[in-house]
Amino acid sequence: MSEAQTTTKSLRFRLGLYGLFLLCGFSVFAISYVSPELSIGTGSLIAVFFLAAWGSNRTSRFRIYWKVPFAFFVFSFVWFTRHTILDSALVQPFYKTLNGNVTAQLIDSAVVMIPIILLTLASGDKLSSIFLQRGNVRFGLIVGLVVFIVFFLVSGVVAVQFTGMSPARFLFLTPYLVVLALANGFKEELWFRGLFLNKYEPLLGVRLSNFLQASIFAASLIEAEFASVLLGIVFVSFVLGLGLGYLMRRTGSILGSSLCEAGSVIPIFLIAISSLKL
């Protein structure tokens, strides 16, 4: 077989894996639309991912693949557990107040991040495998803080100049915005990118890995309530995911991308809490 034929075969194989992994991500969201909480159906999907990881790890021929289904096992377990907890009658009342929103967001981040960390360690991997390390901290901090501050300032200007919010009200909301945005940023970067990038890369390469995580990240935001602007949300989320994935890989840490992610959601949180009281 010529070198060109070998390269073509390799590319086709990687594209096939890309399609399979994309289907795995989409399957979580598809089942979530029918049954968003832990149930027999969602538990079955979680079990399928776990058994795929366990089975491939026991066979030398397929051992190279086992970390990807394991990552989807962790991802799906967290996805459905999170919905079960956040949609519960215990947590829902928190969203009616400012302090409650902060409490709910911290619960949300803990529900996502703690299982990922514990299951990563239980699998025998180090925390560096999910980008929980210093990495290029200087570059990450510079980029992340610049993006965070720009989003914060633009959100403030828009809120005061165009929506009629008083400067005093925006300053009052600032501590809540910062906590909500940062907690969400670190949670999502660990969940959608940190958990997956190092698992994808040995099989797909850097570019396809980044493209895949961005595709799944964008698909996670598809909601019926956004139907009128759905294409715009998906496109922006996909482009954002590409940039955040590149930055995470470039810095070797979730720090920079988490700050950028946090900045990008400041406008969303500002809208959500602007009319709430303590």
Q: Where are the domains of the chain?
A: 3-273
pLDDT score recorded for residue 4: 43
Maximum C-alpha span of the chain = 71
pTM exceeding the 0.85 threshold for the entire prediction: yes
Q: Round to whole Å and give the CA distance between 278 and 248.
A: 36
Contact 251, 239 (CB under 8 A): no
pLDDT score recorded for residue 5: 44
Residue 87 neighbours by CB under 8 Å, 6+ apart: 36, 37
Kindly state the tokens that stand for 66. Answer: 């086992």
- Helix 40-57 vs helix 67-86: crossing angle, to nearest 10: 160
- What is the pLDDT tens value at each position of the chain, 278 positions in all? 544 444 455 889 999 999 999 999 999 999 998 998 999 989 999 999 999 999 999 999 999 999 999 999 999 999 999 999 999 999 999 999 999 999 999 999 999 999 999 999 999 999 999 999 999 999 999 999 999 999 999 999 999 998 889 999 999 999 999 999 999 999 999 999 999 999 999 999 999 999 999 999 999 987 655 555 668 888 999 999 999 999 999 999 999 999 999 999 999 999 999 988 88
Q: Round to whole Å and give the CA distance between 52 and 75.
A: 14
Contact 120, 127 (CB under 8 A): yes
Contact 262, 246 (CB under 8 A): no
pLDDT score recorded for residue 266: 97
